Amino acid sequence: MPPMQLDRNQLTKIIFISVAALIAVGSLVVSGLLTSDLKREEQAKVEVWAEAMRSFIKADSNTDLSLVLKIVEGNHTIPVVLRDSQGQIIDCRNLDVPQSPDSLAYLRGQVDDMVAHGRVMSFSVPRGDAAGQADTYTICYGESLMLRRLAAFPYVTLAIIAVFILIATFALIASKRAEQNKVWVGLSRETAHQLGTPISSLMAWTELLKETHPDEPLIADMSQDVDRLSLIAERFSKIGSAPSLQPTDVVASVTHAADYLRRRTSRRVTITVHAPATPIMAQINAPLFEWVIENLCKNAVDAMSGDGSIDLSLSGNDTDVLIEVSDTGKGIPKQKFKTVFRPGYTTKRRGWGLGLSLAARIIREYHRGQIFVKSSTLGVGTTFCIVLHRS
């Protein structure tokens, strides 16, 4: 199999995501390095503080404690807890201890967390007796507020960037859709306007021919074609405006569209409608809805190269109406199920790629329904599904 080629949009997305990932990884790496440096610096400060406490505890009345007290009192950022050899808490600093009976339990919880993370230092102070014994003190320390903020900073930054990217993406998508809508509306209304004058003229000439040649059978066919042109112009004029939805028998609309297609499609294509005998009512605009059915069937005829069968199946329940259009064409790759509804997508050399895009717009935006590729097998066929809401 030939390697799958990426279009320009997919390549742009991959590059954009890759750059964003590199920025995110770089931010995390740099933040991690800074955090590690700050951790080592704080550990060194705790070691100095521990030595100062050892000097303070073993000092006698003749010892100058001015420098020791300056070091001990100079710690305003790192949380520390001093415990004696029995594990009793002697002192603590830079901890927001609640003024309540649970304060001791709170301190013990903080100590247990510090010990669990390995933030413990010990030092011994001789008792000065003849036995030469010493008391062991333990210092438990935590992370400073600055260190915690630095560790959280890249994640907060990435979250803000992600939110900004999402907002910018949605804004670009909305802007692109608005621009596409303007193109659709302008093109459709201009087409309807340009068709209006010649269609009116053809109608007048048809009526004149009926009067002058009442027995000519070809005039009836001509009249039908002129009516068809008038219907096409009406459809184009409805694009861009809110079409009126009326309770309509979907079975009758699908059957009408199928009858029209049978007369204008090769005899090698079989079009069959599978529907219940009773009407299935839904809120639709009949001319636009039949346009969708025609576009799906014409797309199926192209996929079958003018030889095969098309099955239109209808069913309904209390809330929805389901219409399935199945063909025996060449099929659609699974990765293209959503792409086929984008404007410009086509597999034909001279195709504009607007039929399925127009069908999707009519169903989703005007009828508030759904249209999607239900299933497709290469070389076997494709089934499109339309879901309409009854109310």
Give residue-wise pLDDT tens across range 129-160: 666 688 889 999 998 888 888 888 888 888 88
Q: Taking the model in full, what pTM does it have? A: 0.51
Q: Place 351 in a pLDDT band, splitting at 50, 70 and 90.
A: low
Q: Place 281 in a pLDDT band, splitting at 50, 70 and 90.
A: very high
Q: What class is the 243-389 domain?
A: alpha beta
Question: Which tops the pLDDT comparison, 175 or 130?
Answer: 175
**3-state DSSP percent of the chain in helix, strand and coil, to 5:** 55, 20, 25
CB burial of residue 277 (10 Å; 0-12, 13-18, 19+): exposed
Among candidate residues 117, 116, 135, 115, the one with its CA nearest the CA of residue 125: 135
Cβ neighbours of 244 (radius 10 Å): 8
**Least-confidence region, from 36-45, 205-214, 270-279, 288-297:** 205-214
241 DSSP 8-state letter: S
Q: Tokens 């890759």 sit at which residue?
A: 18
What pLDDT was estimated at residue 4?
A: 45
339 DSSP 8-state letter: G
pLDDT tens, position by position, 75-114: 888 999 998 888 888 888 888 888 877 788 888 888 999 9
Q: What mean pLDDT do residues 297-315 have?
A: 92
Distance from C-alpha of 126 to C-alpha of 116, rounded to nearest angstrom: 28
Distance from C-alpha of 194 to C-alpha of 188, rounded to nearest angstrom: 10
What pLDDT was estimated at residue 181?
A: 67
Q: Which residues, other chains included, contact 380 with Cβ-Cβ below 8 Å and sequence gap of 6+?
A: 328, 331
- Paired strand residues for 271: 310
What are the boundaries of each domain within the chain? Answer: 8-126+133-149, 176-241, 243-389
Written as six digits, the tokens of 146 are 């600055």
What pLDDT was estimated at residue 17?
A: 80
Question: Which tops the pLDDT comparison, 183 or 35?
Answer: 35
Q: What mean pLDDT do residues 277-281 have?
A: 91
Written as six digits, the tokens of 167 are 């907002």
Q: What mean pLDDT do residues 341-362 have?
A: 72
Architecture of domain 8-126+133-149: 2-Layer Sandwich (3.30)
What pLDDT was estimated at residue 2?
A: 41
Distance from C-alpha of 164 to C-alpha of 175, rounded to nearest angstrom: 16
At 219 the three-state DSSP class reads helix
